[in-house]
């Protein structure tokens, strides 16, 4: 099957790896990818295009006879890439822009959850500071303030400090049509559960846990995610079934009832609270870096599942098969991340890491540069003495993945891989895949530090 993968970050490198790794004679994959990620580019034919321009994606898909488009990030979905493809009769794994509002608008997601009877934090959507102050009084501390709109991982502040909470709310409200959602604080560890959806049916993948704070012991600012692992040995067995029954299926039903059927990946961000499972957030795409560990454990063809979701036939394909192996990923980030990142430094050691059985490296924020023997940047093709090097070009640069029989062994491998790799300014957490017995991973657990 000819597949076009939209997006060129770490999540897409992991998706491409899983599409290729799990393909077989019955489910072959001929992959086209978006240019810009040297690791991803090794797995398919690469094309330069703007992911958020529906017409560009459609033209490329038509020109190459693509039979399935898989959209990685949320921004192209919000921009209407799936709408354009569906209108042209090309199956797309990813929701329409209307359905993508489950991620693009926190207040929309809350409305759908209320309609579907899904348990989540009590909340108020506020459009001015008077409403914000009333919500703070009603809900009390700690204050949870969420930008209503997409904010690239920077939209949420959890704090006891009311002035800090007010300042974040104010900055969100300053934007035209700005709104904030103020909600109750949820205790308990977080779990990410990804569900494939075809508008009607829901097929859960295996759960994972993400580490959102930049520093060890959940210190420092929020990030897109500094590492993840799967399986979660501490999680009750029935949780996945319970989340499908009480969260994902009712949400998919509610979206269908609104005539905006949800097709694609429903990312259920959950808190295992003392009062039961609560939804922290929905996203409409695979999580990053959880995908790097979840899909590493998939044994059956990913392309079959994604195509079935895109064509409304999930109930007609076999359920995903999973390895009992564990996978752990550690994110190596640029100096300064999650603030402005210090980029352009040579990365060395990926080959050494990947020479160790059980380790592979997903590239997220890398690019190639051509340099002279003295190390100065020169144009590509500048003669035989020039050489190509790999440099860091984003905040999260590499995801080192270890795979082994247990979480502890996979964790040891991932950190062995990290040790082999270096670039100036690099930082990573050293406590990924230690779980609640050792580390408090409650939502907003930084509040106790």
Nearer to ligand GLY, 124 or 282 (CB): 282
Nearer to ligand GLY, 251 or 420 (CB): 251
Alpha helices for 244-360 (secondary structure H): 249-257, 290-294, 302-310, 350-354
Q: Residue 27 Cβ, how far from ligand GLY at the closest point, in Å? A: 27
Nearer to ligand GLY, 153 or 436 (CB): 153
Q: Residue 103 Cβ, how far from ligand GLY at the closest point, in Å? A: 9
In angstroms, rounded to a whole number, what is the distance separating the alpha carbons of residues 422 and 345?
10
Q: Residue 280 Cβ, how far from ligand GLY at the closest point, in Å? A: 10
Q: Residue 290 Cβ, how far from ligand GLY at the closest point, in Å? A: 6
Cis peptide, bond prior to residue 289, ω within 30 of zero? yes
CA nearest to 412, candidates 429, 432, 392, 428: 432
Q: Residue 95 Cβ, how far from ligand GLY at the closest point, in Å? A: 16
In angstroms, rounded to a whole number, what is the distance separating the alpha carbons of residues 343 and 423?
10
Residue 256 exposed, middle or buried by CB count within 10 Å (0-12, 13-18, 19+): middle
Q: Residue 11 Cβ, how far from ligand GLY at the closest point, in Å? A: 7
Q: Residue 262 Cβ, how far from ligand GLY at the closest point, in Å? A: 17
Nearer to ligand GLY, 136 or 262 (CB): 262
Binding site for ligand GLY (CB under 6 A): 210, 224-225, 283, 287-288, 290
Nearer to ligand GLY, 224 or 402 (CB): 224
CA nearest to 301, candidates 29, 7, 32: 29
Residues 294-308 as b/e (b if ≥16 CB within 10 A, e otherwise) read: bbbbbeebbbbbbbb
Q: Residue 373 Cβ, how far from ligand GLY at the closest point, in Å? A: 41
Nearer to ligand GLY, 13 or 345 (CB): 13
Nearer to ligand GLY, 198 or 210 (CB): 210
Nearer to ligand GLY, 41 or 103 (CB): 103
49 phi and psi, to 5 degrees? Answer: -160, 165
In angstroms, rounded to a whole number, what is the distance separating the alpha carbons of residues 68 and 310?
8
Strand partners, 124: 182
In angstroms, rounded to a whole number, what is the distance separating the alpha carbons of residues 344 and 351?
19
Q: What is the dihedral of CA 128, 131, 134, 138, to 10 degrees?
A: -120
């Amino acid at each position: 099957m000819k597949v076009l993968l939209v997006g060129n970050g770490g999540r897409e490198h992991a998706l491409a790896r899983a599409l290729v790794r799990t393909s077989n004679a019955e489910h072959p994959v001929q992959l086209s990818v978006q240019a810009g990620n040297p690791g991803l580019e090794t797995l398919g034919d690469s094309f330069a295009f703007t992911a958020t321009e529906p017409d560009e994606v459609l033209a490329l898909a038509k020109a190459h006879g693509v039979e399935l488009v898989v959209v990685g990030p949320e921004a192209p979905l919000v921009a209407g890439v799936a709408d354009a493809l569906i209108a042209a009769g090309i199956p797309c794994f990813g929701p329409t822009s209307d359905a993508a509002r489950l991620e693009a608008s926190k207040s929309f997601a809350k409305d759908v959850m209320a309609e579907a009877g899904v348990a989540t934090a009590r909340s108020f959507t506020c459009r001015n500071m008077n409403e914000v102050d009333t919500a703070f009084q009603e809900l009390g501390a700690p204050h949870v303030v969420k930008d209503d709109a997409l904010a690239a991982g920077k939209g949420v502040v959890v704090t006891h400090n009311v002035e800090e909470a007010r300042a974040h709310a104010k900055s969100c409200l300053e934007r035209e049509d700005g709104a904030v959602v103020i909600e109750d604080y949820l205790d308990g560890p977080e779990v990410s559960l990804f569900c494939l959806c075809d508008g009607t049916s829901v097929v859960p993948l295996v759960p994972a846990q993400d580490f959102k704070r930049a520093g060890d012991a959940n210190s420092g600012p929020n990030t897109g995610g500094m590492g993840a692992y799967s399986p979660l040995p501490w999680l009750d067995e029935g949780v996945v079934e319970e989340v499908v029954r009480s969260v994902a299926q009712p949400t998919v039903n509610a979206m269908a009832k609104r005539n905006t059927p949800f097709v694609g990946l429903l990312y259920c961000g959950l808190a295992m609270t003392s009062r039961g499972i609560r939804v922290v957030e929905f996203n409409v795409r695979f999580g990053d870096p959880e995908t790097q560990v979840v899909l590493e454990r998939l044994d059956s063809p990913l392309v079959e599942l994604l195509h079935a979701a895109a064509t409304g036939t999930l109930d007609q394909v076999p359920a995903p098969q999973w390895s009992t192996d564990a996978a752990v990923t550690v994110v190596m980030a640029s100096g300064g991340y999650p603030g402005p990142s210090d980029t352009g430094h040579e990365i060395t050691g990926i080959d050494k890491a990947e020479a160790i059985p059980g380790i592979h490296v997903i590239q997220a924020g890398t690019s190639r540069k051509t340099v002279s023997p003295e190390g100065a940047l020169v144009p590509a093709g500048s003669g035989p003495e020039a050489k190509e090097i790999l440099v860091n070009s984003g905040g999260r640069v590499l995801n080192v993945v270890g795979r082994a029989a247990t979480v502890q062994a996979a964790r040891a491998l991932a950190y062995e891989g990290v040790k082999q790799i270096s670039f100036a300014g690099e930082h990573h957490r050293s406590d990924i895949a230690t779980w609640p017995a050792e580390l408090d991973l409650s939502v907003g657990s930084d509040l106790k530090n």
